[in-house]
Structure 1
Amino acid sequence: MNSQTTPATPAPLTGIRFALGAFAVALATFMNVLDSSIANVAIPTLSGDLGVSVDDGTWVITMFSAANAVSIPLTGWLTQRVGQVKLFVAAILLFVITSAMCGIAPNLPVLLIARVLQGVAAGPLVPLSQALLLTTFPKNKSASALSLWAMTATVGPIAGPWLGGWITDSYSWSWIFYINVPVGLFTAAVVWALYRDRETPSRKLPIDTVGLISLVCWVGSLQIMLDKGKDLDWFNSPVICALAVFALLSFVFFLIWEFTEEKPIVDLRLFKGRNFLGGTVAISVAYAVFFANLVLLPQWIQEYLGYRAMDAGKVTAPLGIFAVILAPVMGKIMPKSDARILATLAFLGFAGVFFMRANYVPNLDAYTLVLPTLLQGIPMALFFVPLTAIILSGLPHDKIPAAAGLSNFVRIFAGAVGTSLLTTGWSDRTILHHARLIEQANAYNPIYTHGIAQVQSTLNVGASNALAFFESGLSAQAAMLGLNDISWLSAVLFIVIIPLIWITHPSKDAVAGAATAGGH
């Protein structure tokens, strides 16, 4: 909390209380991040068990992200209303309850309702975990506190896919949610025991109800439109048209209301600042592309390469290795470096990784799959902290809480939207490549006829089975070409948004601002 609401900063924890407190708070961050990635590899299995398509199963990820994005702007108001520690513990307990609801969900609608509630509960966890860590460490160790937070946040991509795959293959997808119950209860108990006497003051505050309702309306309708657009043939569907109109009108009303409201729930005036505008757009687009590909890759590996969920997790798990190794290094080099250079290097690194993936070929080996994922950890380490420093640099102290909340809202919602758009794009490109490939499959093409004959001879099967085998291979190749297109587009997007970084002018207080934001 800022100085207006906190009369005195609590003394740092020491000894065993310090170690246990830092571990518990970091564990809450880990639980939250883990839950956003652990479901990725389980989507094909989960969808099959619930009797829905994989595209519908992806709602499990996007609805969580959308709900999480909506709840983040409420964190500042709720913190002042009930207190930092009470809100953090309450959010953890609600996360535990909704995780159990996800596990016992009998069908997709019930699961989605539980995931929405889980996303709402997760909203305050990230900013409040940063805040509590900053009060746990001495003030001159703020960079170390944020490095610990960043390290635990990046362990999720390592553990999530592998753990999710192992649980799904060995037990049931329900257990990827049940695992949060003991972890959450332990974390809540430790945090309450150690931090309840360090509670921040609370006071009654009015809430921008109209702004909140309009925010929920346009975010919800836009997300549903994006997720159902492909199934309903986009704007040939009256439902999609109605959702689009409603989302647009709600968004326009939201903009007008928030710009004129004295105490808006989302302070859009922050976008008038060059650093905030450039940094927020850059980090949001980058996160959208990164997160969407993190969802698509395990699906492709399982559906078309025949990997088990656990094996798909092993392929994607190396993502966080370099990110964890380099996280402490970032804490040391950030104060001595230009954040714009570090962010540019991160975007170039991401572009290089996606260009590697844009050249996949049939029958690729595990090494070819793993290498780009492993290397992606390097730009991950250069990604969040420098851009956060850019976003918050030069802002008045009393504006930092609102700026941190708004930039996180835009980033997380962009992740949900990006997942929907790139999932649809992958499907469309796969269909296009399938149509182009099938054009060559005719009796006048000697390569095709020879291939069918060879399949019949090798597998000792009839013509119909040979055709089915051929169709399976053709579909897999079309999906690979579609994913290559998405990877190429992703690489280009990372290059295109680099100029956004260089319209900013980081000031000397950038790193301090990033640290201060953790307190809100």
Structure 2
Amino acid sequence: MSSATSAEADDGFVPPIRGLCAAGLALASFMQVLDSTIANVSLPTIAGNLGAGTQQATWVITSFAVSTAIALPLTGWLSRRFGEVRLFLGATLAFTLASLLCGLAHSMGFLVAARTLQGFCAGPLFPITQALLVAIYPREKRGQALALLSLIVVVAPIAGPILGGWITDNYSWEWIFLINVPLGLMATFIVSNQLKSFPRRTEKARMDYIGLASLMIGVGALQIVLDLGNDEDWFESDLIIALSVVSAIALLVFVIWELTDKEPIVDLKLFRHRNFRNGTLAMVLAYSAFVAVVFLVPQWLQRDMGYTALWAGLATAPLGILAIVLAPIIGKYSSRIDLRLLATLAFIFLSITCFMRAGFNLQVDFNHVAGVQLLMGAGVALFFMPVLQILLSDLSGSDIASGSGLATFLRTLGGSFATSLTTWLWSRRGAEHHAQLTEHISAYVPGVTEQLTELGQGDPIRGAALLDVGVISHQASQMGFNDIFYLLGWVFLVIIGFLWLAKPPFGGKAAGAAGGH
């Protein structure tokens, strides 16, 4: 994709109206990033309308994330084979079509298949948008263009829950996907019109088919295991055992092949670099924990607190306020501070907010929930840039682009797995707490029979059933929620150790590239 950076010097290339072209490129990226979170608050409604359970509804999130991750390593090969502009236009149109199919879904299976297609098309969109922005702007203005893209990464996930909640409450959940159709067509029209004379250099680049096939089979089978495991009673199921074996073999083949192939689709040899290895591990773990938070809070607000989709979105939205305010300040002054200190402060903020949520109960009010989200935003603002710069700091040349791509791939994959594992853990811990709570309901405990009779309006059996459904189930779910956040609080603290295994300097050869990939 680097060949495009000198596009303006090519004969026949008419420079676009940069602001308009950047708006078209940004619109497509906004649409893609938005779709990673817009369905979060709508999952209970989607599950109810399509006759699916809560765990099945999680597939709407995980199918998108895992297919996006698998498509990411293909971006370089696709751009060389078809050209940057053609890849952007094709991916945007295909994403738009997949969004239309999502909106027309009549069953959970159809929706998950459409989301898988949508995620696969989303994979190349963000990196190819970066490449085209760098190509159309002169060197001295590229920072501003990439800052616009960085703002989209922050704003879109925040806008997603609010927009998704408002659409779901006021119209229907299908429109959270159908809204992409006019946006996608508009982005396609603008970019195709502005970059119609953009030079197209293509080559019949070699494709690592074995690496790609083993990656798709290994990751796909593992994701199915995580999604279906709880429903199938894990390794009591022959299907889960078979899929686990397939996944293990495919991933083993993938690792061996990628380490020995001359042109691997994923360059695993980059892990020989100390800062890349430790920085990537910190990034993947932290992002996975972050995704668990972003996924779990709106589900809890609707399931146990009785919030509508819109109010769940509004309660979670303050997460982005401090992130937007602090991001430019941190970018300006970060070079004067040890990046490990910045990231450590970030993870302390994230850990504290998780421990605060671990103390929530069913009486917690909107302001308290929103306040914790606001405080978490400080951690988010301090997190991404320092860790990205650390992991790229001991790479140089083409390794910087490869390292950024590999870290993004693993980060996206980690987020997908985190969603499935969070769903499973919440269900498991809730069931365990439910069993413990019901043990204390007995006719032999003084006062219990009278309370159940009163609750059941004279019928103690009916009262026990109402207590189980209305009080115990929500209380058990709340206790499971608290357990997960207690665990996440410790995860963020443990990650700090990986950061301090990295060694400075963190500037120099990779510092300038950190924001551009």
- Short-chain TM bin: over 0.9
**C-alpha contact (below 8 Å) 1:40/1:295 kept by paired residues:** yes
Identity of matched residues, % = 44
2:318 corresponds to which residue?
318
Distance 1:365 1:447 in 2: 31
Q: How does 1:369-518 map to 2 (within 5 A)?
A: 369-446=369-446, 448-449=448-449, 451-452=451-452, 455=455, 460=457, 462-471=459-468, 472-505=470-503, 506-517=506-517
Aligned-partner Cα distance in 1 for 2:327–2:70 = 28
Q: Structure 2: 5+ residue runs without aligned partners?
A: none
Counting only pairs closer than 5 Å after superposition, residues 199-278 of structure 1 correspond to structure 2 as 199=199, 201-278=201-278
Q: Shift of the alpha carbon at 1:204?
A: 1.2
Letter in 1 for 2:133: L
1:415, CA displacement in angstroms?
0.4
CA–CA separation in structure 1 for the residues paired with 2:349 and 2:70 = 30
Give the superposition deviation at 1:124: 0.7
Q: In the superposition, relative to structure 1, how do residues 14 and 213 fare at CA in structure 2: closer, same or farther (>3 Å)? A: closer
Distance 1:345 1:246, change over 3 A: same
Work out the CA distance in 1 between the residues paired with 2:368 and 2:440. 28
The one-character-per-residue Cα deviations of 1:293-338 (angstroms, maximum 9, x if unpaired) are 2112211111111111111111112221221222222331233333
Bigger drift between 81-90 and 188-197 goes to 188-197
Deviations 1:242-298 (A, max 9, x none): 111111011111111111111111111011111111111111111111112211221
Contact kept in structure 2, 1:162 and 1:317, CA below 8 Å:
yes
Structure 2 CA distance for partners of 1:354 and 1:15, relative to 1, 3 Å: farther
SS at match of 1:52: coil
Residue aligning to 2:300: 300
Query: 1:145 Cα deviation (Å)?
Result: 2.9
Say if 1:278 and 1:503, in contact at 8 Å, map to a contact too. yes
**Aligned 8 A contact 1:103 1:174 in 2:** yes
TM-score (norm 2): 0.94
Q: CA RMSD in A?
A: 2.0
Contact 2:258 2:266 in 1 (8 A): yes
Secondary structure in structure 2 of the residue aligned to 1:444: coil
CA contact (8 A) 1:150 1:327 kept: no
1:147 counterpart SS class = helix
Residue 7 of structure 1, CA deviation: 7.3
Pick closer, same or farther for the CA change 1:52–1:509 going to 2, 3 Å. Answer: same
Residue 205 of structure 1: how far off its partner (Å): 0.6
Q: Which residue does 2:149 correspond to in 1?
A: 149
Moved more, 111-120 or 435-444: 435-444
**Cα distance between partner residues in 2 of 1:6 and 1:37:** 31
Per the alignment, in what secondary structure is the counterpart of residue 342 of structure 1?
helix
**Change beyond 3 A, Cα 1:461–1:158:** farther
Letter in 1 for 2:396: P
| CA 338–20 in structure 1, closer or farther in 2 if over 3 Å, else same | farther
Change (3 A) 1:136 1:491: farther
Aligned partners of 1:10 and 1:334: how far apart in 2? Answer: 32
- Mapped partners of 1:203, 1:167: distance in 2: 44
Letter in 2 for 1:34: L
Deviations along 1:388-438, one digit per CA (max 9) or x if unpaired, are 211222312112222121111100000011111111011111011111111
Kept after mapping to 1: 8 A contact 2:62/2:420: yes
* Amino acid aligned to 1:382: L
Measured in 1, the distance between the counterparts of 2:80 and 2:500 equals 36
Q: CA deviation at 1:451?
A: 4.0
Runs of 4+ residues deviating >6 angstroms: 13-16
Distance 2:497 2:306 in 1: 40
| Aligned partner letter, 1:463 | P
What is the rounded CA distance, in whole Å, between the counterparts of 1:503 and 1:360 in structure 2?
A: 34
> Per the alignment, do residues 142 and 450 of structure 1 end up closer, same or farther by CA in structure 2, a change over 3 Å counting?
farther
CA, structure 1 residues 202+280, in 2 after alignment: closer, same or farther (shift >3 Å)? same
1:453 is displaced (CA, Å) by 5.1
Give the unaligned 5+ runs of structure 1: none
Please name the residue that 1:68 is paired with.
68
C-alpha offsets along residues 91-117 of structure 1, whole Å, 9 cap, x if unaligned?
111110000001101111111111111
Per the TM alignment, residue 6 of structure 1 is displaced from its structure 2 partner at its CA by 4.5
Distance 1:14 1:493, change over 3 A: farther
Cα distance change on mapping 1:212 and 1:311 into 2, 3 Å: same
Cα deviation per residue 1:455-487 (whole Å; 9 max; x = unaligned)? Answer: 35xxx5643443233112111011011000100
**Distance of aligned partners of 1:367 and 1:515 in 2 relative to their CA distance in 1, 3 Å threshold:** closer
Shift of 1:515: 3.2
CA deviations on 1:123-173 (whole Å, 9 max, x unpaired) are: 011112222333344423444333221211111232111111111111111
